[in-house]
Structure 1
Amino acid sequence: MKALRLTFESFRFAWDALKGNLLRTVLSLLGVTVGIFSIISVFAVVDSLEANVRQSMSFVGDKVIYVNKWPWSFGPGTPWWKYFNRPVPTVREFRALQRSLSPSSNKGVAIFANTSGNTFKAGSNSMTSCSLEGVSYDFYVVSDVPLAEGRYFTPQEVESARSVAIIGADIAENLFPNRSALGQTFKAKGFTFTVIGVLQKEGKKLLDTPSNDANCLIPFGMFTKIFAIASGGGGGVTPTIGVKGVDADPGLLNLESEVQGLMRTIRGLKPRQEDNFSLNRPEMLANAITSLFSVIGVAGAVIGSFAMLVGGFGIANIMFVSVKERTNIIGIQKSLGAKNYFILFQFLFEAVFLCLLGGGAGIFLVFLITAIPQDAMPLFLSAGNITLGLTVSVVIGMLAGIIPAVLAANLDPVIAIRAK
């Protein structure tokens, strides 16, 4: 009860001081507002940029190990030509992994390959620069296949290499305007395909990464008929084998070890021979992205902290002036029995209160910016950044107000009452 009364009294003193010197208070708060705005806006932009980059990279999937000819990243001094003569993953290797991998270590194995720059035609309508991707049945397990209409392939359609397709939203809109694409037919690479599904529209991505909007999925067997890669490569098309891990295998260490051992056995590598394949994981890209944006965030925070420092000095200045102006009142309060901690808390609360007002204004300005519609990179203000902004405001208020508050608390009541 005593603490609540103390807080209420301090709030009333702070509010009276703010109203009594409104213009001076507002000008002093501008420094805190600009400082918090600078820091939180940088973090909001960095978080939004990172989220959009990660969303743009979502096509690589999560908890997946990819068997490729090339690694996704090269170590320092590693010659790129070292990987040039490696064999590409084959359907035979895919089947062997399907049979040999422990069911408890994975959720599914898929093989897939794609080409870009294809032209699709349906009657008088056509669309260029389309991607054509051949997939095995478990592709929906390895990678997300969000359907807006229709259905996914059946195992029979994939195994018998039927000419059915799941098309992206842009393809559906261009080839079949003002009507449903389901059940319609189109031509690609001299073959006629029947549409059984339409993918959800993704829209424009921040990075120029593969988009489902202009992508067409077909059974892998049909894809090999077109590009003749069933035996392991043809027409410049390189298949990829993806293995989806399980939640019970943190870091996918067990799955990676098992896939590596099986691939070495399948390819007949001797114990002293190096792997002639690469096991790539999305974590490689995620870690690189996290490291990059951590550096950007720290740099932005350092720059914003200078503006925050100026705001802190402004609050400290106004608190020194406030102590000077209210010295006589402090003396009267002490003569009436007010304890030192009451005076200390009163001025410290006022400094924190002022900083919270300035910080809240800065956060509100950031919120207004994030409310502006953005197509390329939508901005958002997270609860963590709001909490960070308010916490920084409180800390700056305490640092700026502690010295004036201590000076006020230690004033001699007799000398303070006589002050003019």
Structure 2
Amino acid sequence: MIYIHLLLESFRFALSALRANLLRTILSLLGVTVGIFSIITVFTLVDSLEKNIKDSLNFLGDDVVRIEKFPWIFGESYPWWKYVNRPKAQYSEYQFLKNNSKEASAITIFAERFGVTVKHESNSLSGAIVSGIAYQHKDVFEIPVEKGRYFGLQEIEKGANVTIIGAEVAKTLFPSSDPLGQEIKLRGLKYRVIGTMEKQGASITNAPSADDFCYVPYNTFFKMYSGQGNFGVESIIALKGYPEDEGLKNLEGEVTGLLRQKRGLRPREDTNFAINRPEAFSNFLDSIFGVITIAGWVIGSFSILVGGFGIANIMFVSVKERTNIIGIQKSLGAKNFFILFQFLFEAVFLSVLGGLFGLFLVYLLSFLSLGSLELTLSLGNVILGVGVSVIIGTLSGIVPAGMASKLDPVIAIRA
């Protein structure tokens, strides 16, 4: 009970001291407010930007390995000449992996063509993306069908002229009617719409959006683009691993062995394909945002430092003004730790108050419209802001509070 009483007493002293010098209190708060606002704003921007970018890359899949001709290399000079003559992924290789892989939960092969014009009667959309996919594509990558259905197995195998279209394609080609069951034209061929996808919206990276996609069966795709070598069309094989395969090491090792076997590579021959994973790009982004976060700490630290000096200054003044009261308290039996805690609590209270106001400003900032970038003040950043405020208040108030607790009561009363 004595500690609760001590806490309430200290709170009362701190509040009365801050009210007595309101202007001085506000000026001291500003330093901490600006510091916390600077740090948490940078962290909020970085977190929101990172989340938006990673969300926009969901089309790359999660726990997925991709067999491609070119490897993903970031932050280095790209030796493209080493990979340009590599063979492209073949449908026979996809079937071989599908029949022999034990570490993949699902496998697909797909090919894409960008900048395609899609038509329906007098309406047309330029810049659509046509993607030919295998049956298990929905198990490897997300295809959010909102209306209609996904492809049937027979439709995929026979290469039926059916399609699933994105929200933007549906809106442009069928502005006032239901697209299900109607036909669209792709490169002069008619395709019946069997499904439409949920609206995804634009991303901050301008990455391919599901809104602009037209999915067709893989074999149907090459009716439009006959021959895998024509028009720069390249197939990609993608395999999804099991959750218990940490780091997908088992899947990657199995795929490497199987595909080398399929391509007839000898033990001493180099692998002539790349196994790419979306995590590589995520790790590259993490390194970039790590540097930005450090820069945010450096920028905000200067403001926090100024705020800390401001609080230390007001605490030294408070000790000087209340020296007589300290002497009276000690003469009535107040212990040193009571005096210490009283002034230390006042410093922390002042710092936290400034920090909370800084967080409130960041919260207001999150309501601003920044296009496709959505700002979100996370609970982690709120806790960080309050924590930094407590630390600054403690460091700023410990010396003045220590001086106050060591005052001689007789000398203090005469002050």
Which TM-score band applies after superposition, normalised by the shorter structure?
over 0.9
Aligned residue runs from structure 1 range 364-383, under 5 A = 364-383=360-379
Once residues 16 and 79 of structure 1 are traced to their aligned partners in structure 2, the CA distance between those partners, rounded to angstroms, is 70
Aligned residue runs from structure 1 range 322-361, under 5 A = 322-361=318-357
- SS of match in other structure, 1:181: coil
Q: CA shift at 1:226, angstroms?
A: 1.4
Aligned residue runs from structure 1 range 3-402, under 5 A = 3-73=3-73, 79-102=79-102, 105-229=103-227, 232-402=228-398
The count of residues paired between Structure 1 and Structure 2 equals: 415
- SS of match in other structure, 1:235: helix
Q: Which amino acid aligns with 1:408?
A: A
- SS of match in other structure, 2:16: helix
1:404 has 2:400 as partner: yes
Q: CA shift at 1:300, angstroms?
A: 1.1
- SS of match in other structure, 1:107: strand
Identity %: 54
C-alpha change, 1:289 and 1:13, in structure 2 (3 Å) is same
* RMSD after superposition: 1.1
**Is the Cα contact below 8 Å between 1:233 and 1:239 reproduced in 2?**
no
Q: CA shift at 1:375, angstroms?
A: 2.8
Q: CA shift at 1:373, angstroms?
A: 3.3
TM-score by length of 1: 0.97
Q: CA shift at 1:49, angstroms?
A: 0.7
Once residues 96 and 196 of structure 2 are traced to their aligned partners in structure 1, the CA distance between those partners, rounded to angstroms, is 32
1:418 has 2:414 as partner: yes
Q: Which amino acid aligns with 2:81?
A: W
Once residues 151 and 306 of structure 1 are traced to their aligned partners in structure 2, the CA distance between those partners, rounded to angstroms, is 57
Structure 2: gaps of 5 or more residues? none
Q: CA shift at 1:367, angstroms?
A: 0.3
Q: Which amino acid aligns with 1:199?
A: M
Q: After the TM superposition, which segments of 4 or more aligned residues of structure 1 sit over 3 Å from their partners? A: 74-78
**Is the Cα contact below 8 Å between 2:74 and 2:284 reproduced in 1?**
no
C-alpha change, 1:78 and 1:133, in structure 2 (3 Å) is closer
Once residues 78 and 173 of structure 1 are traced to their aligned partners in structure 2, the CA distance between those partners, rounded to angstroms, is 40
Once residues 186 and 151 of structure 1 are traced to their aligned partners in structure 2, the CA distance between those partners, rounded to angstroms, is 17
Over residues 169-188 of structure 1, what are the superposed CA-to-partner deviations in whole Å (9 max), with x where a residue is unaligned?
A: 11000000022211111111
**Is the Cα contact below 8 Å between 1:119 and 1:130 reproduced in 2?**
yes
Once residues 284 and 90 of structure 2 are traced to their aligned partners in structure 1, the CA distance between those partners, rounded to angstroms, is 29
Q: CA shift at 1:74, angstroms?
A: 6.5
Q: Which amino acid aligns with 2:201?
A: G
Q: CA shift at 1:64, angstroms?
A: 0.3
Q: CA shift at 1:107, angstroms?
A: 1.3
**Is the Cα contact below 8 Å between 2:130 and 2:215 reproduced in 1?**
yes
* 365-374 vs 380-389, which moves further: 365-374
Q: CA shift at 1:235, angstroms?
A: 2.1
TM-score by length of 2: 0.98
